Amino acid sequence: MTASILAVEIRDELYSIIREPTAAVFSIAMPVGMFALFATLFGTEASGPVSGATLMLATFGAFGVISVALTPGIGIAEDRERGWLRVKRVSPVPVRTTLAAKVAASLPVAFGVYAAMSLTAFAMGLFDTDVRTWLQIAGLLLLGSLPFALLSIAVGFVARGRTAPAIINAVFLPMAIAGGLWMPLEMLPSFVQDLSVWLPTYHASQLGLGVLMGEPMIDHIVALVAATTVTASLAAMAYRSSRA
């Protein structure tokens, strides 16, 4: 894979975001709007050294970043349905390069969600962290979204263009709520709290919380590596089945 080929692939993906921005705007506006709502309601409640709104940058931030990380699969399903992926397959570009470009092109949008939430917290006077910590959380959220990007790729190789978003949302939204991305786990029923430790959404949000609260993150990293292995296998299986 040469850098110039990857650059062209990323450029094409960025054009699809810039020239048809509706989906990207929705991907940013929806989680940021929810963040603003929940920050207004609970953001002033301090938990240790930081405000509730800053903690929500880890949880709602994970929700927003993962929402964007799930979009490459929708693009794959549309490309498959349109026939474009068939054209790409006979080009000299390995499919992994095409997929890597789709994921890479989603990163600026994902970061945009996190930045918009941070600006919202800042505007509300509830931004309680330094730039280094803020960037650290951003990096961890982006890395933590990898298993979700792979999951969306798996869906993209088996679902149709119109059904892929429905499938992705049907899987992700319950995982987001049960993983504590919308509200603290303590507010959820005990059986959901028991379930949450098995969900990658929970571990993705715990990375940012770990940075803010100074708690160890190794268990969450191990869990996300395991989730990445599983979703990578699912993506490979889905890719093979789409070629059969």
Partner 1 sequence: MTVTDIVAIRDLDHRYGETHALRGVDLTVASGECVALLGPNGAGKTTLVSALTGALAPAGGTVRITGNDPRRPEARRRLGVVHQHAGFPRTLKVGELVAGWAVRAGRPAADADAVLAEVGLHDLRKRRATQLSGGQQQRLQLAMALVVDPTLLVLDEPSVGLDIDARRRFWATLAARRDRGTAVLLTTHQIEEAAAVADRVVVLHQGTVIASGPPADLTAQLPDRTVTARTALRDRELRALPDVLDVTVADGRMRAASARPEATVRALLAADPTLSDLRVEGATLEQAIVSMITQESQEVAA
Residues at the interface with partner 1 (CB under 8 A): 2, 4-5, 8, 11-12, 15-16, 19-20, 79, 81-84, 86-87, 89-94, 243
Residue 37 or 82: which CB sits closer to partner 1? Answer: 82
C-alpha span between 13 and 17 (Å, rounded): 7
Residue 4 or 190: which CB sits closer to partner 1? Answer: 4
C-alpha span between 192 and 177 (Å, rounded): 9
C-alpha span between 188 and 180 (Å, rounded): 8
Residue 19 or 132: which CB sits closer to partner 1? Answer: 19
Q: How many beta carbons lie within 10 A of that of residue 168, not counting itself? A: 22
Place of tokens 């770990």: 210
- Which among 198, 216, 193 has a CA at the least distance from the CA of 206? 216
C-alpha span between 23 and 29 (Å, rounded): 10
Task: Please report how close the Cβ of residue 220 comes to partner 1 at its closest, in angstroms.
Answer: 36
Task: Please report how close the Cβ of residue 132 comes to partner 1 at its closest, in angstroms.
Answer: 37
Longest dimension (CA), the chain: 56
C-alpha span between 210 and 220 (Å, rounded): 9
Residues in a beta bridge with 47: 50
C-alpha span between 134 and 128 (Å, rounded): 10
C-alpha span between 230 and 205 (Å, rounded): 19
Task: Please report how close the Cβ of residue 28 comes to partner 1 at its closest, in angstroms.
Answer: 18
Task: Please report how close the Cβ of residue 4 comes to partner 1 at its closest, in angstroms.
Answer: 6
Q: In the structure encoding, which two tokens stand for residue 189, read together?
A: 């029923």
Residue 95 or 213: which CB sits closer to partner 1? Answer: 95
DSSP state, residue 166: H
Place of tokens 């498959």: 80
Residue 93 or 195: which CB sits closer to partner 1? Answer: 93
Residue 2 or 190: which CB sits closer to partner 1? Answer: 2
Residue 89 or 162: which CB sits closer to partner 1? Answer: 89
Task: Please report how close the Cβ of residue 20 comes to partner 1 at its closest, in angstroms.
Answer: 6
Task: Please report how close the Cβ of residue 167 comes to partner 1 at its closest, in angstroms.
Answer: 21
Task: Please report how close the Cβ of residue 12 comes to partner 1 at its closest, in angstroms.
Answer: 6
